[in-house]
Amino acid sequence: MIMILLGQIAELVNGELVGDPQGVISGAGPLEKAVEGQITFAEKGLGLKRVAESKATAVIVPRGVSFPDVNLIQVDNPRLAFAQALLMIYPPPQPGEHLHPTAVIGDKCTIGKNVAIAAGVVLGDKVTVGDRVVLHPNVVIGNDVVIGADTLIYPNVSVLERCRIGCRVIIHAGTVIGSDGFGFVFDQGRYFKMPQVGIVQIDDDVEIGANNTIDRATMGKTWLKTGIKTDNLVHIAHNVTIGEHSVITGHVGIAGSTTIGRHAVIAGQAGIGGHLTLGNQVTVGPQCAVAQSVPDKQVVSSTTLAMPHGTWLRLQKVLPQLPDLYKKIKTLEKQVAQRRTKK
Protein backbone atom coordinates (compact mmCIF):
# COMPACT_ATOMS: atom_id res chain seq x y z
CA MET A 1 0.00 0.00 0.00
CA ILE A 2 1.33 3.43 -0.97
CA MET A 3 1.19 6.11 1.71
CA ILE A 4 1.65 9.76 0.75
CA LEU A 5 1.70 12.88 2.89
CA LEU A 6 -0.81 15.64 2.23
CA GLY A 7 2.03 18.10 1.81
CA GLN A 8 3.43 16.01 -1.04
CA ILE A 9 0.07 15.87 -2.80
CA ALA A 10 -0.44 19.63 -2.44
CA GLU A 11 2.96 20.24 -4.01
CA LEU A 12 2.26 17.83 -6.88
CA VAL A 13 -1.05 19.50 -7.79
CA ASN A 14 0.26 23.05 -7.27
CA GLY A 15 -2.30 23.60 -4.52
CA GLU A 16 -2.43 25.50 -1.25
CA LEU A 17 -2.76 23.23 1.77
CA VAL A 18 -5.00 24.35 4.59
CA GLY A 19 -4.44 21.78 7.32
CA ASP A 20 -1.91 19.19 8.41
CA PRO A 21 0.91 18.59 5.89
CA GLN A 22 1.78 15.36 7.72
CA GLY A 23 -1.65 13.84 7.15
CA VAL A 24 -1.26 10.40 5.60
CA ILE A 25 -3.21 9.40 2.46
CA SER A 26 -3.39 5.78 1.36
CA GLY A 27 -6.43 5.84 -0.91
CA ALA A 28 -9.20 7.87 -2.53
CA GLY A 29 -12.96 7.77 -2.74
CA PRO A 30 -16.09 9.73 -3.69
CA LEU A 31 -17.03 12.61 -1.41
CA GLU A 32 -19.98 10.89 0.27
CA LYS A 33 -18.17 7.55 0.83
CA ALA A 34 -14.53 8.46 1.45
CA VAL A 35 -13.18 7.48 4.87
CA GLU A 36 -10.19 8.32 7.03
CA GLY A 37 -6.95 7.86 5.14
CA GLN A 38 -8.56 8.77 1.82
CA ILE A 39 -8.66 11.94 -0.24
CA THR A 40 -11.61 13.19 -2.28
CA PHE A 41 -12.70 16.34 -4.11
CA ALA A 42 -15.61 18.78 -4.46
CA GLU A 43 -15.86 21.40 -7.15
CA LYS A 44 -19.25 23.13 -7.01
CA GLY A 45 -22.87 23.15 -5.88
CA LEU A 46 -24.14 20.40 -3.60
CA GLY A 47 -20.72 18.79 -3.43
CA LEU A 48 -19.18 21.82 -1.76
CA LYS A 49 -22.07 21.97 0.71
CA ARG A 50 -21.25 18.42 1.81
CA VAL A 51 -17.53 18.94 2.43
CA ALA A 52 -18.01 19.49 6.16
CA GLU A 53 -19.85 16.13 6.40
CA SER A 54 -17.10 14.14 4.66
CA LYS A 55 -15.09 11.63 6.67
CA ALA A 56 -12.14 11.84 4.26
CA THR A 57 -8.76 12.87 5.61
CA ALA A 58 -8.58 15.66 2.99
CA VAL A 59 -10.72 17.28 0.31
CA ILE A 60 -9.51 19.04 -2.83
CA VAL A 61 -11.58 22.21 -3.37
CA PRO A 62 -11.53 25.39 -5.47
CA ARG A 63 -9.26 28.21 -4.34
CA GLY A 64 -10.86 30.46 -1.76
CA VAL A 65 -13.13 27.73 -0.34
CA SER A 66 -12.63 27.09 3.37
CA PHE A 67 -14.19 24.87 6.04
CA PRO A 68 -13.12 24.77 9.70
CA ASP A 69 -11.50 21.57 10.95
CA VAL A 70 -11.19 20.05 7.45
CA ASN A 71 -7.89 19.42 5.68
CA LEU A 72 -8.22 21.15 2.32
CA ILE A 73 -6.08 21.46 -0.78
CA GLN A 74 -7.19 24.57 -2.68
CA VAL A 75 -6.58 24.49 -6.44
CA ASP A 76 -7.76 26.07 -9.68
CA ASN A 77 -9.33 22.86 -11.03
CA PRO A 78 -10.31 20.30 -8.35
CA ARG A 79 -11.22 17.54 -10.81
CA LEU A 80 -7.86 17.81 -12.58
CA ALA A 81 -5.97 17.91 -9.28
CA PHE A 82 -7.85 14.82 -8.08
CA ALA A 83 -6.90 12.97 -11.28
CA GLN A 84 -3.26 13.91 -10.70
CA ALA A 85 -3.48 12.74 -7.09
CA LEU A 86 -4.96 9.40 -8.19
CA LEU A 87 -1.91 8.75 -10.36
CA MET A 88 0.27 9.40 -7.33
CA ILE A 89 -1.74 7.14 -5.02
CA TYR A 90 -2.37 4.39 -7.58
CA PRO A 91 0.63 4.50 -9.94
CA PRO A 92 0.20 2.38 -13.08
CA PRO A 93 2.24 -0.82 -13.09
CA GLN A 94 5.63 -0.66 -14.75
CA PRO A 95 6.11 -4.07 -16.36
CA GLY A 96 9.69 -3.50 -17.46
CA GLU A 97 11.38 -5.35 -20.29
CA HIS A 98 9.78 -8.72 -21.00
CA LEU A 99 9.28 -11.01 -23.99
CA HIS A 100 6.93 -13.93 -23.40
CA PRO A 101 8.13 -17.18 -24.99
CA THR A 102 4.84 -17.61 -26.88
CA ALA A 103 5.16 -14.24 -28.64
CA VAL A 104 5.94 -14.39 -32.37
CA ILE A 105 8.33 -11.76 -33.73
CA GLY A 106 8.63 -11.33 -37.49
CA ASP A 107 11.73 -10.61 -39.56
CA LYS A 108 13.64 -7.33 -39.36
CA CYS A 109 11.66 -5.90 -36.42
CA THR A 110 13.11 -3.06 -34.36
CA ILE A 111 12.17 -3.17 -30.67
CA GLY A 112 13.14 -0.39 -28.25
CA LYS A 113 14.27 -0.50 -24.63
CA ASN A 114 12.11 -1.75 -21.73
CA VAL A 115 9.38 -3.12 -24.01
CA ALA A 116 6.91 -5.63 -22.53
CA ILE A 117 5.46 -8.16 -24.97
CA ALA A 118 2.93 -10.56 -23.43
CA ALA A 119 1.70 -14.05 -24.30
CA GLY A 120 0.31 -14.63 -27.76
CA VAL A 121 1.45 -11.33 -29.26
CA VAL A 122 2.27 -11.48 -32.98
CA LEU A 123 4.49 -8.93 -34.71
CA GLY A 124 4.69 -9.02 -38.49
CA ASP A 125 7.80 -8.20 -40.48
CA LYS A 126 9.61 -4.85 -40.27
CA VAL A 127 7.62 -3.65 -37.25
CA THR A 128 9.11 -0.77 -35.25
CA VAL A 129 8.25 -0.62 -31.53
CA GLY A 130 9.44 2.34 -29.47
CA ASP A 131 10.84 2.41 -25.95
CA ARG A 132 8.65 1.38 -22.99
CA VAL A 133 5.79 0.10 -25.15
CA VAL A 134 3.49 -2.46 -23.50
CA LEU A 135 1.69 -5.04 -25.67
CA HIS A 136 -0.89 -7.09 -23.76
CA PRO A 137 -1.84 -10.69 -24.64
CA ASN A 138 -2.99 -11.55 -28.16
CA VAL A 139 -2.17 -8.20 -29.71
CA VAL A 140 -1.55 -8.52 -33.46
CA ILE A 141 0.68 -5.99 -35.23
CA GLY A 142 0.87 -6.15 -39.02
CA ASN A 143 3.84 -5.72 -41.32
CA ASP A 144 5.60 -2.33 -41.42
CA VAL A 145 3.63 -0.86 -38.50
CA VAL A 146 5.35 1.84 -36.43
CA ILE A 147 4.47 2.26 -32.73
CA GLY A 148 5.85 5.22 -30.79
CA ALA A 149 7.37 5.26 -27.31
CA ASP A 150 5.32 4.80 -24.13
CA THR A 151 2.30 3.41 -25.97
CA LEU A 152 0.01 0.95 -24.20
CA ILE A 153 -2.01 -1.57 -26.21
CA TYR A 154 -4.51 -3.77 -24.36
CA PRO A 155 -5.50 -7.39 -25.19
CA ASN A 156 -6.89 -8.51 -28.53
CA VAL A 157 -6.11 -5.29 -30.40
CA SER A 158 -5.16 -5.53 -34.08
CA VAL A 159 -3.06 -2.86 -35.76
CA LEU A 160 -2.89 -3.86 -39.40
CA GLU A 161 -0.19 -3.35 -42.00
CA ARG A 162 1.62 -0.03 -42.48
CA CYS A 163 -0.40 1.92 -39.89
CA ARG A 164 1.33 4.54 -37.74
CA ILE A 165 0.78 4.87 -33.98
CA GLY A 166 2.30 7.82 -32.11
CA CYS A 167 3.83 8.17 -28.66
CA ARG A 168 1.89 7.82 -25.39
CA VAL A 169 -1.11 6.33 -27.19
CA ILE A 170 -3.54 4.06 -25.31
CA ILE A 171 -5.61 1.54 -27.29
CA HIS A 172 -8.18 -0.44 -25.31
CA ALA A 173 -9.15 -4.07 -25.74
CA GLY A 174 -10.71 -5.39 -28.92
CA THR A 175 -10.05 -2.38 -31.15
CA VAL A 176 -9.10 -2.82 -34.80
CA ILE A 177 -6.89 -0.20 -36.45
CA GLY A 178 -6.54 -0.37 -40.22
CA SER A 179 -9.43 -2.59 -41.26
CA ASP A 180 -10.53 -2.05 -44.85
CA GLY A 181 -12.76 0.91 -45.54
CA PHE A 182 -16.24 0.16 -46.88
CA GLY A 183 -15.57 0.83 -50.54
CA PHE A 184 -17.33 -0.97 -53.40
CA VAL A 185 -18.18 -0.24 -57.02
CA PHE A 186 -21.60 -1.37 -58.28
CA ASP A 187 -21.57 -2.82 -61.77
CA GLN A 188 -24.07 -5.01 -63.59
CA GLY A 189 -25.89 -6.08 -60.43
CA ARG A 190 -22.79 -6.88 -58.40
CA TYR A 191 -20.38 -5.05 -56.08
CA PHE A 192 -16.69 -4.92 -56.98
CA LYS A 193 -14.33 -4.26 -54.05
CA MET A 194 -12.35 -1.03 -54.23
CA PRO A 195 -8.86 -1.84 -52.91
CA GLN A 196 -8.10 0.05 -49.69
CA VAL A 197 -4.42 0.88 -50.02
CA GLY A 198 -4.04 3.76 -47.54
CA ILE A 199 -3.20 3.70 -43.83
CA VAL A 200 -4.39 4.91 -40.43
CA GLN A 201 -2.22 7.47 -38.66
CA ILE A 202 -2.80 8.07 -34.95
CA ASP A 203 -0.77 10.94 -33.50
CA ASP A 204 0.63 11.39 -29.98
CA ASP A 205 -1.42 11.31 -26.74
CA VAL A 206 -4.52 9.75 -28.32
CA GLU A 207 -6.67 7.32 -26.32
CA ILE A 208 -8.87 4.87 -28.22
CA GLY A 209 -11.71 3.10 -26.37
CA ALA A 210 -12.58 -0.59 -26.43
CA ASN A 211 -13.97 -2.18 -29.59
CA ASN A 212 -13.38 0.78 -31.85
CA THR A 213 -13.00 0.23 -35.59
CA ILE A 214 -10.85 2.73 -37.45
CA ASP A 215 -10.71 2.00 -41.18
CA ARG A 216 -7.67 2.55 -43.35
CA ALA A 217 -7.95 5.10 -46.13
CA THR A 218 -8.81 4.10 -49.66
CA MET A 219 -5.74 6.15 -50.59
CA GLY A 220 -3.76 8.45 -48.32
CA LYS A 221 -4.62 8.19 -44.63
CA THR A 222 -7.35 8.16 -42.04
CA TRP A 223 -5.91 10.58 -39.49
CA LEU A 224 -6.55 11.05 -35.77
CA LYS A 225 -4.55 14.04 -34.61
CA THR A 226 -2.91 14.77 -31.25
CA GLY A 227 -4.86 14.36 -28.02
CA ILE A 228 -8.08 12.84 -29.40
CA LYS A 229 -10.11 10.66 -27.01
CA THR A 230 -12.67 8.13 -28.22
CA ASP A 231 -15.14 6.17 -26.12
CA ASN A 232 -16.06 2.50 -26.63
CA LEU A 233 -17.80 1.22 -29.77
CA VAL A 234 -16.87 4.05 -32.11
CA HIS A 235 -16.57 3.55 -35.88
CA ILE A 236 -14.39 5.91 -37.90
CA ALA A 237 -14.56 5.24 -41.64
CA HIS A 238 -11.93 5.57 -44.37
CA ASN A 239 -10.23 8.90 -45.06
CA VAL A 240 -11.76 10.63 -42.03
CA THR A 241 -9.60 13.33 -40.42
CA ILE A 242 -10.27 14.44 -36.83
CA GLY A 243 -8.56 17.50 -35.37
CA GLU A 244 -6.55 17.90 -32.19
CA HIS A 245 -8.07 17.27 -28.74
CA SER A 246 -11.51 16.27 -29.97
CA VAL A 247 -13.74 13.90 -27.98
CA ILE A 248 -15.85 11.16 -29.61
CA THR A 249 -18.24 9.35 -27.24
CA GLY A 250 -19.83 5.91 -27.40
CA HIS A 251 -21.63 4.45 -30.43
CA VAL A 252 -20.68 7.33 -32.74
CA GLY A 253 -20.33 6.55 -36.44
CA ILE A 254 -18.41 8.83 -38.79
CA ALA A 255 -18.78 8.13 -42.51
CA GLY A 256 -15.97 8.29 -45.05
CA SER A 257 -13.99 11.36 -46.11
CA THR A 258 -15.44 13.63 -43.41
CA THR A 259 -13.19 16.20 -41.73
CA ILE A 260 -13.77 17.25 -38.11
CA GLY A 261 -11.89 20.21 -36.64
CA ARG A 262 -10.01 20.53 -33.35
CA HIS A 263 -11.70 20.56 -29.92
CA ALA A 264 -14.90 19.03 -31.32
CA VAL A 265 -17.29 17.08 -29.07
CA ILE A 266 -19.42 14.35 -30.67
CA ALA A 267 -21.99 12.93 -28.23
CA GLY A 268 -23.25 9.37 -27.97
CA GLN A 269 -24.96 7.61 -30.89
CA ALA A 270 -24.47 10.59 -33.20
CA GLY A 271 -24.12 9.73 -36.87
CA ILE A 272 -21.97 11.93 -39.10
CA GLY A 273 -22.51 11.69 -42.86
CA GLY A 274 -19.77 11.32 -45.44
CA HIS A 275 -17.79 14.03 -47.25
CA LEU A 276 -18.75 16.71 -44.70
CA THR A 277 -16.71 19.33 -42.86
CA LEU A 278 -17.35 20.01 -39.17
CA GLY A 279 -15.42 23.05 -37.97
CA ASN A 280 -13.32 23.71 -34.90
CA GLN A 281 -15.08 23.56 -31.50
CA VAL A 282 -18.24 22.06 -32.97
CA THR A 283 -20.53 20.17 -30.58
CA VAL A 284 -22.91 17.49 -31.88
CA GLY A 285 -25.64 16.35 -29.50
CA PRO A 286 -26.59 12.72 -28.76
CA GLN A 287 -28.39 10.69 -31.43
CA CYS A 288 -27.97 13.57 -33.84
CA ALA A 289 -27.87 12.80 -37.56
CA VAL A 290 -25.52 15.28 -39.24
CA ALA A 291 -26.22 15.42 -42.96
CA GLN A 292 -24.61 18.76 -43.82
CA SER A 293 -21.42 20.60 -42.92
CA VAL A 294 -21.30 22.57 -39.66
CA PRO A 295 -19.31 25.82 -39.23
CA ASP A 296 -16.89 26.58 -36.39
CA LYS A 297 -18.21 26.77 -32.80
CA GLN A 298 -21.73 25.65 -33.68
CA VAL A 299 -23.78 23.40 -31.39
CA VAL A 300 -26.19 21.13 -33.26
CA SER A 301 -28.62 18.68 -31.72
CA SER A 302 -31.66 16.65 -32.65
CA THR A 303 -32.78 13.07 -32.60
CA THR A 304 -33.53 13.56 -36.29
CA LEU A 305 -31.59 15.75 -38.71
CA ALA A 306 -29.19 18.26 -37.20
CA MET A 307 -30.38 21.83 -36.74
CA PRO A 308 -29.14 24.85 -34.79
CA HIS A 309 -29.30 24.05 -31.09
CA GLY A 310 -31.48 27.09 -30.33
CA THR A 311 -34.03 25.92 -32.91
CA TRP A 312 -34.04 22.44 -31.39
CA LEU A 313 -34.69 23.87 -27.90
CA ARG A 314 -37.62 25.94 -29.18
CA LEU A 315 -38.97 22.87 -30.95
CA GLN A 316 -39.00 20.94 -27.69
CA LYS A 317 -41.54 23.41 -26.28
CA VAL A 318 -43.79 23.01 -29.31
CA LEU A 319 -43.72 19.21 -29.68
CA PRO A 320 -45.98 18.40 -26.66
CA GLN A 321 -48.56 20.85 -28.02
CA LEU A 322 -48.74 19.32 -31.50
CA PRO A 323 -51.77 17.05 -30.83
CA ASP A 324 -53.86 20.01 -29.58
CA LEU A 325 -52.62 22.21 -32.41
CA TYR A 326 -53.58 19.50 -34.88
CA LYS A 327 -57.12 19.35 -33.41
CA LYS A 328 -57.48 23.11 -33.64
CA ILE A 329 -56.37 23.11 -37.27
CA LYS A 330 -58.83 20.35 -38.16
CA THR A 331 -61.61 22.27 -36.38
CA LEU A 332 -60.73 25.47 -38.22
CA GLU A 333 -60.66 23.61 -41.55
CA LYS A 334 -64.12 22.20 -40.83
CA GLN A 335 -65.48 25.64 -39.92
CA VAL A 336 -64.05 27.18 -43.10
CA ALA A 337 -65.56 24.39 -45.19
CA GLN A 338 -68.99 24.92 -43.58
CA ARG A 339 -68.91 28.64 -44.27
CA ARG A 340 -68.02 28.01 -47.91
CA THR A 341 -70.94 25.58 -48.19
CA LYS A 342 -73.40 28.17 -46.78
CA LYS A 343 -72.27 30.70 -49.35
> Which residues belong to the active site?
238
Residues 71, 54 contacting (CB under 8 angstroms): no
Rounded CA gap, 155 and 137, in Å? 5
